[in-house]
Each structure stands twice: as C-alpha cells, then as structure tokens.
Amino acid sequence: MKLYGYWRSSAAYRVRIALNLKQLSFENLPVHLVKNGGEQHSDSYKALNPAELVPTLVDGDFSLNQSLAIIEYLEEIYPQPALLPLEAGAKAQVRALALDIACDIHPLNNLRILQYLTGSLALTEQQKQQWILHWLHCGFTAFEQRLSASAGHFCFGDTVTLADICLIPQVYNALRFGLDMSPFPTINAVHHQCLQLAAFALAAPEHQPDAQ
C-alpha cells in the first residue's frame, strides 16, 4: 500500500494511526502542501485525486481518498484489531464522535481555509488566529461534553476506536495553534492515554520523513 500525505495533515495523520494500529506496512509518499505552490496542485497528483487534498491511499489497482473512508476500507479488509464496536448503536456513536471532529471541527482550521482567509479575504494574521481559536474552542467544548457520557480510558470506553484516531490529530492542531486546553480535562486524559501507544506515537507529524 502507498499513502500519499503530508506530515502535518490531520487527515493523513488519522490514516497513519489506523495503519499502525493494524500493523500494516505502507509506503509513505509525501505531498508537500506548501512548497512549489503546493504539490497537491500538480497535474500528476490531480490525476490521482481531483480534489487536490491529502491523503490518498493506493492499494494495488485500487485508490481511495477521504481519511474516514480509507480507515473504514482498512477495517473491512483487515478487521483486527477492530476500530469500531460490533453493536449497531455503539458503532453509530463512535462514528458520530469521529464525524464531530472530521466534519465539524477540522475543516474550519484546514490549510486551504486559512489560506483563503488571509489571501482572498485579506484577514490579518491576528484575525486568522481568532478564527482558529474560536472554532476549536466551540468544537472541543461540545466534544468534551459528549465524552462525559462515553469515555473510559479512550473516547468510547476502554478500547481504541475511530473516535480516538480522529481526536488525537485535532489535539495536535489545537496545541500548535495555542488553544488553552485546560477546560477539556477528558480530552486531555484521552490524548495522554493514546500517546502512550506506539501506533499513535509513530504516526505523529514530527516522526514523518517529510517533517520540517
């Protein structure tokens, strides 16, 4: 398998964690999102992923974009260790937690959104920072409340799930952008617990070959 990604991409980070948890070997192929005007805009990468986003997974003749779709594909092909509960209600709850991050929190501080804010909309760096912190705080406030009903050692009980895979890259972003994490003790506890696991630690941005 080949994974096209970027060291600091939250979405690629999610897929790296899942691959590591399932102990799957893969070739890490960097797509630099900033250099040369953004390598994701190159003709060769656009042919692979017309959305010009990372990650893209290539497994033989099969290729797939969207991190959650990739992880669910891996879950179907390599079901152990399971990243989703078996019971329908529990599975739906884990997916909802993952989507809280991937659909509602992450997109608002994604690179192309931030570039648009300071580019076409001509916001200052200070205004961009206010935007980032506002939406992170809103999203994490709701997520912290959800975890109060579901968390054990991890987001959903005492087993790593898709929800943890989505949360940890988002906490990385929050810390990078300087969000005050003190109002979120459950998120912090889950984050600490996950980082004790090799699969999460090895997937961290600073450990990637293209890290800068």
Q: What share of the chain is helix, strand, coil (3-state, %, to 5)?
A: 60, 10, 30
Across the chain, mean pLDDT equals 96
* pLDDT tops 80 at residue 212: no
Give mean pLDDT, residues 190-212. Answer: 95
State the pLDDT confidence band at 163, using cuts at 50, 70 and 90. Answer: very high
* pLDDT tops 90 at residue 155: yes
Which residues face 119 on adjacent strands? Answer: none
Which residues face 29 on adjacent strands? Answer: 4
Q: What is the pLDDT of residue 32?
A: 87
Q: May I ask the CATH architecture of the domain 2-81?
A: 3-Layer(aba) Sandwich (3.40)
CA gap 20, 199 in Å, rounded: 5
The predicted model scores a pTM of: 0.95
Residue 207's Cβ-side half-sphere holds a number of Cα atoms within 13 Å equal to 10
Q: What is the pLDDT of residue 48?
A: 93
Q: What is the pLDDT of residue 36?
A: 84
State the pLDDT confidence band at 198, using cuts at 50, 70 and 90. Answer: very high
Q: For 73-113, how does the pLDDT look when each residue is reduced to its tens digit (9 = 90+)?
A: 999 999 999 999 999 999 999 999 999 999 999 999 999 99
CA gap 194, 173 in Å, rounded: 16
The backbone region for 157, taken as left when phi is positive above 0, alpha when psi lies in -120 to 50, beta otherwise, is left
CATH number assigned to the domain with residue range 88-199, chosen from the 4 options 3.30.70.1380, 3.90.226.10, 1.20.1050.10, 3.30.710.10: 1.20.1050.10
Give mean pLDDT, residues 172-201. Answer: 98
| Domains in the chain: boundaries | 2-81, 88-199
